[in-house]
Amino acid sequence: MTAFAIKQWLKPAYLVIRRWQVPPVSLIYRPLHWLLLSLRLAGAGIMRVLIWTPMFRSQVTGGEGLYLYDGLPQLLGPVKVTLGQDCRISGVSTICGRPGSVLELGDNIDIGWQNTIACGTRITLGNNVRLAGRVFLAGYPGHPIEARARAKGLPERPHQARAITLHQDVWVGTGAIILAGVTIGRGSIVAAGAVVSRDVPAGVVVAGNPARVVRNLEAADEA
């Protein structure tokens, strides 16, 4: 019997074995699921209280009432971080910065899953700011504009690093990018996937790439 014939003969048996499953007996597997879920939540809670929160707070200023979930945020580079009260930060997020940069968070701020906050000079988030998942606050580009300088591995030029300010009550949707030098006015909303390269006035919704005003929230409230 050739190798090809053996392979053809074994293939049906392999498919049967690969597809075989233990029957999902609810009486067994539902309690087991809840048990494993409870153990996972309990373990995460213990890590948050005993490890993640005190470790993160040892590297920042403030942070009373801080709630970390899903791990410990990455804190990279010589960035100074100041936290207000009652902030909630996903552990699957990254905070980085250039020398001398500052990240200042107000009170009652949400920083969602897979956020990246790159501080060029200063990034300020006012009270009640909400950042959804995969938001990128790009305070500096990481590379210079000149191709030869990039090829040499040189960092960005100082003038490329600029401040970002999100005033009170701003909400930034999933996957949005806010570039260096941008200020977003109080209560404005950045739609999911928007790329904000210019200042945004207060009380509006911006969307698109580049982002533009698509709705006036104050007029909508009056209507």
Segment 72-88 shows an average pLDDT of: 96
Query: Has 33 been annotated as catalytic?
Result: no
Confidence of residue 223 (pLDDT cuts 50, 70, 90): very low
Cα–Cα distance between 210 and 117 in angstroms, integer?
20
184, pLDDT greater than 50: yes
Mean pLDDT of the chain, nearest integer: 92
pLDDT tens-digit map of 82-98 = 999 999 999 999 999 99
pLDDT tens-digit map of 20-61 = 888 888 888 899 999 999 999 999 899 999 999 999 999 999
CATH of domain 60-222: 2.160.10.10
From the candidates 33, 143, 159, 167, give the one annotated as an active-site residue: 143
